[in-house]
Amino acid sequence: MMTTNNAEAPASTGEAVLAGKSLIQLEGLTKVFETEEVETHALSNIHLTIRQGEWVAIVGPSGSGKSTLLAVLGLLDTATRGAYLLDGLSVLDLSPSDRALVRNRHIGFIFQSFNLIGDLTVFENVELPLTYRGMPAAERKQRVERALEKVGMAHRARHMPGQLSGGQQQRVAVARAVAGDPLILLADEPTGNLDSKNGEAVMQLLSELHKGGATICMVTHDPAHARTATRTVSLFDGRIVQDEQRR
Amino acid sequence: MLSDLRMDLRYTLRTMRQTPVFTVAAVLVLSLGIGATTALFSVVDAVLLRPLPFPEPERVVVLGSERTQRAAPNYSLMTYEDLARQFTQVCSLTAFAGSRFNLTGDGDTRQLRGVTVAGDFFGAFGVKPALGRTFTPEEREASLVVLSHRQWQALGGGADVLGRTLTLGGQPYTVVGVMPPSFQVPHPTVDLWLPYDSQPGAATSEARTQRGFRSFTVVGRLAPGATLESARQELASLAPPLIQEDSSQQFGLLGYRDMLTRDVSLVLWVLLGAVALVLLLAAANVAHLQLARAASRQRELGIRVALGAGRGRLVRQLLTESLVLALLGGVGGVLLALWGTDLLLALGASALPRGGDVAVQGRVLLFALAVTLLTGVGVGLAPAVQRSQLSPGLVLGRGATEASRGRTHAALVVAEVALALVLVTGAGLMLKSFWRLQQVDPGVDPEGVFVAWLSLPQEGYREPERMAAFHRNLMARLAARPEVAAAGVGGSLPAGGSIRRSGYWVEGTADVPNRPTALVNVSTPGFLEALRVPLRAGRRLAEADRAEAPRVMVVSEHFAREVFPGQDPVGRRVTFGGDDAQGNPLWMTVVGVVGDVPYDGIEAGQEPTVYLPMDQEPAAGAQLAVRAAPGLSPLALEAVVREELRAVDSTVALAQPTTLEARLETDLGRPRFRTVLLGAFGVLALVLAAVGIYGVMSYAVAQRSHEMGVRMALGARRADVLKLVVGQALRRVGVGLGLGLTGALAAHRVMEGLLYGVGSLDVSVLSAVALLLLGTAWLASWLPARRAASVDPASVLRRG
């Protein structure tokens, strides 16, 4: 186990123990929310490297900056200062259109509230990011079917999200995230809206994806789920206070 | 129940205060819709629906064609007399014709619009005089006159008018009665009625001696026990011998009101239909707002249901809200209608038959109330029923789907676009038709021409030579004035309202019983020059074409084309009846061909026309046309004309002085009235449809901001979101256009009779309107789409 406090030494964590190439590199990343009266430092001077094949759990109390960090990693939000390299490409200064392109091709999202679109079928939900990629229909079909089979939801392809249980909806969301073969899966409290049984099933699914080579970065409140990951990064007041690597 | 209602009302008023923007917007939109509908209904009511002010008005019938849309044809007094002797199913048969009388002996000579009548005129209409008595059929030769209420007022409005002597056309007439103000037969500007045979020389006049002299409208009252159908059957049996006498006559029978209104009823129903569509659009917009507001109150309604409110109770509460809104809109609408009817009258409704009766009162107010209540229920029912169907669990829980509401909104957008397409197409067709009318060559150069009616008193002008001498004298004096470039007198002027048509026979062809007719314009030399009607061949009428000179005529190009196709008409001879001293047909030689002039109005178009010299066909009533010298206003010529008129004969009245340009403008009054109204409704429809689409898409975008966030998180670019939102709106618009096309084609067909120069399927208007609506819809959906595309996915997803 390796522990680093980035308040004392900027982390270039896990470099010694992991063989995969560096996929995400954050250098001195800071995010400040400004209102008329107050300036809130959501993230302060974050140094973090995530290598290919890692499963990183980001933990911390409410307001510690976990979701903000995930939003910045997913290019849903921008940083105020610092550098962010995704697969060697600096992505902080990209235009909104290029950020959308990077999100679409390289990042897969899994949300706490599933965020399936109610008016689209399961198949169409999974297909959605591929359509934004301009992929031909035949290839899309192939990829969607493969992703749904991977999560065990192929038989529900024609169903509407409203007809599925929470666990099933999250499995569809996972299928949507992996259908485009992203570089990294970003999961924000993926079990937060599920009962324990369904939660375990989703964790099992993520575990299988990880074993299959997926790189995962997951925000969680649940210590048990955090332990499933190969590495745990703890945040407090927008800073990394602990970075724990497990074999 | 009553306390429930009170509670609902209290709650409704509170809710309205809490959402002032919604309330004001809804009330304004409804006021507009209800106001426009009410204002137009007030016109329809006065013109088409309100009974005529006669006893049993439905029993008053008029002779005419049952098929054509034009005004009733005229008949000769001889035909009338023949009918009156035999017609048993119709009693009080009367014939009447408009005439102009110079009123002298009371200051300046004034021209009055009178009606000469034969038979039981007042009995046919059954109206009692307001003052005095009417004259009877037996008093056919008595010099008695009945005044209109309007003319009575003009003469001082005193009871002492009875027994007073008026000098009309140089003949003394005794006033025996005054009709009530509602009696306006045959038109609102009538001044007096007098027996036809009371006029000097009536017994030997053309009207009494020539069957071809058709100037009289024939009206009667269905006899007791008779029906319109039985009267028609009898007329059909009486008609054949009359047709033998004059084969061009049509003997049909129709209700007097139908005859009065048949050339305006189509346009009024079309306009009322159009304004009803505007109201529907307004209601659809308010229904959008209601649906959106009901959605934002979903939780409140869920709590009410959870606390035991039944479905009916909930529907009642929501309906109370929409009814209160509609009632406020109704009040605003009636106020708007009061102003709107003035506007309609100013736009030309006053010129419609019975247009003077247009008012917002009684039945119109009841109509406004009915429309208001229907609108209130209409806009409130869909949201009320939809909201009341939700289960409290679903409503109070998260994740209630809004698919059905989305479908209702989509249906409303489709309906709005379809309605707008119908309305805007109607407006587009009318605009194109009006534009075509304005492009029509009037055949004359109207700029700088002063026109007026000249009416010679019968006393002193019984001999044709005197009439001819008067016109010659006046024209010579006017021509000598430096202010005058050219002057002439003619029977007809463009849009002048006086048309004479006669049957003709061309020398060398077989005379047929049913002769073709041409418009006959008896005119002085200088008339065609004053109007600048272009000369195409030969010459115009000249000073040399005097009574004793060989008979000549100038023909229009239309006449030349129709009568002498491919030949030179100059030198050919034509007769309009009558014999010369030797008993031979009275041939007239064509000496020239001039351009066409649509004397009967631009909508009616050009027709074969001939110009006969005034010296050879003298007429007592004619119209003056004087072209001003360069740089001079034509209106300035009125003083000049009056001065010369006084010098020639001060008893000759000059009436309705104006300019030819103003006359032509008036001619376009009715098409302009319907174009302006339909155009306004079209613009309103476009605005309402745009607001509706914008409102729905804004609402949808607000509802779907989370979904947009998810889509953007998944890689949707700004352009993808714009495409999604605009595409969705345009798909709905496309469906609306498809549905509306059927309605637009139907509207096209209905309006055909109102259009000029527009084909039966005008693809250019239809496609332009569809493109306009698509463009409007694109803009109306692009603005909310832009908002959707600027959603911050991080903040939206953070909100969950």
Question: A96, A175 in Cβ contact below 8 A?
Answer: no
As given in the structure block, the two tokens for residue A122 are: 């399961």
B654-683 confidence digits (pLDDT tens): 888 899 988 888 777 778 888 888 888 888
Average pLDDT, integer, range B762-782:
87
d(CA B320, CA B322): 6
What pLDDT shows up at residue A168? 93
For residue B397, give both structure tokens: 């829980």
Of A97, A111, A119, the CB nearest to B797: A111
Q: Chains A, B: CB contacts under 8 A, how many?
A: 65
* CA dist., res. B555 & res. B571, Å (int): 11
Task: Please answer yes or no on whether A119 and B710 come within 8 Å at the CB atom.
Answer: no
The overall average pLDDT reported for chain B is 84
The predicted structure's pLDDT at residue A15: 37
- Shortest CA distance from B400: residue in chain A: A162
Distance from CA of A18 to the nearest CA of B (A): 29
Interface touch B715/A129, C-beta < 8 Å? yes
- Minimal Cα–Cα distance from B39 to chain A, Å? 45
pLDDT at A4: 38
Give the domain ranges of chain B: 93-221, 457-651
Residue A62 has a CB neighbour count (10 Å cut-off) of: 7
pLDDT of residue B540: 93
> Token pair of B511, please?
């005379």
Nearest to B98 by CA among B79, B72, B78: B72
Among all residues of chain A, which has the CA nearest to that of B721? Answer: A132
Domain of A156, in residue numbers: 22-245
Cβ of A117 and B707 within 8 Å? Answer: yes
Structural domain count of chain A: 1
Q: Verify whether the Cβ–Cβ distance B720 to A74 is below 8 Å.
A: no
- Whether residue A14 lies inside any domain: the answer is no
Task: State which residues of chain A have pLDDT below 70.
Answer: 1-19, 36, 247
pLDDT of the residue at A84: 95
For residues B552-562, one letter each, b for 16 or more C-beta atoms within 10 angstroms of the residue's C-beta and e for the rest, the string is: bbbbbbbbbee
Give pLDDT tens digits for B685-719: 888 888 887 887 777 777 778 888 888 888 888 88
Please indicate whether, in this complex, the C-beta atoms of B714 and A117 are within 8 angstroms of each other: no
Angstrom distance (rounded) from CA A30 to CA A238:
9
The answer to whether residue A4 is domain-embedded is no
Using 50, 70 and 90 to split pLDDT, how confident is the model at B572?
A: very high
Q: In this complex, is the C-beta atom of B480 within 8 Å of any C-beta atom belonging to chain A?
A: no
Interchain CB contact of B713 with A (< 8 Å): yes
Whether B797 sits inside 8 A of A115 (CB atoms) is yes
Q: In the predicted model, is pLDDT for residue B414 greater than 80?
A: yes
- At residue B762 the predicted structure's pLDDT band, cuts being 50, 70 and 90, is confident
Q: What is the ipTM, given to two decimal places?
A: 0.78
CA distance A173 to chain B (A): 11
> How far is C-alpha A160 from the geometric centre of its chain's CA atoms?
25
Tell whether the model's pLDDT for residue B365 goes beyond 90.
yes
**Using an 8 Å Cβ cutoff, are B173 and B139 in contact?**
no
Higher-confidence residue of B450 and B106: namely B450
Q: What is the pLDDT of residues B608-626, one digit of tens each?
A: 999 999 888 877 668 999 9
Q: Nearest Cα to B625, choosing from B721, B790, B429, B489?
A: B489
Instruction: Report yes or no on A11 lying in a domain.
Output: no
Cis-peptide, bond into residue B186, ω within 30° of zero: yes
Nearest chain B residue to A77 by CA distance is B794
Residue B767 burial (C-beta neighbours within 10 Å; 0-12, 13-18, 19+): exposed
Residues 56-95 of B with CB under 8 A from A: none
Cβ–Cβ below 8 Å for B713 and A101: no
Q: Within B592-659, where are the H helices?
A: 637-648
Cβ B667 vs Cβ B600: under 8 Å? no
> Which residue out of A69, A111, A115 would a mutagenesis test of the B interface target, given it has the greatest number of B Cβ atoms within 10 Å?
A115
User: Percent of chain B scored above 90 by pLDDT?
Assistant: 28
Tokens 């008949």 -> residue: B75
A241 is a domain residue:
yes
Query: Considering CB atoms only, which of B401, B713, B717 is closest to A76?
Result: B713
Taking residues B541-555, report their average pLDDT.
91
Q: For residue A76, which residues of chain B lie inside 8 Å, CB to CB?
A: 712-713, 793-794, 797
pLDDT digits (tens, 9 = 90+) for B241-272: 776 666 566 788 888 888 888 778 888 888 88
Question: Quick check: A35 contacting B, CB < 8 Å?
Answer: no
Amino acid in position B728: Q
Residue showing tokens 């047929």 = B512
- The reply to whether residue A76 touches residue B706, judged by beta carbons under 8 angstroms, is no
What's the pLDDT score for residue A17?
Answer: 40
Contact state of A100 with B707 under an 8 Å Cβ cutoff: no
Give the gap in angstroms from C-alpha B730 to the nearest C-alpha of chain A. Answer: 18
Q: Cα–Cα distance between B568 and B572 in angstroms, integer?
A: 8
User: Is the pLDDT at B400 greater than 60, yes or no?
Assistant: no
A125 to chain B, any CB pair closer than 8 A? The answer is no
In this complex, is the C-beta atom of B707 within 8 Å of any C-beta atom belonging to chain A? yes
Q: What per-residue confidence (pLDDT) applies to B241?
A: 74
State residue B399's pLDDT score.
Answer: 40
B250 Cβ contact list (under 8 Å, min separation 6): B64, B65, B73
> Which position has the higher pLDDT, B582 or B568?
B568
What is the least distance, in Å, from the CA of A16 to any CA of chain B? 33
Most A CBs within 10 A among B409, B705, B710, hence the mutation to make, goes to: B710
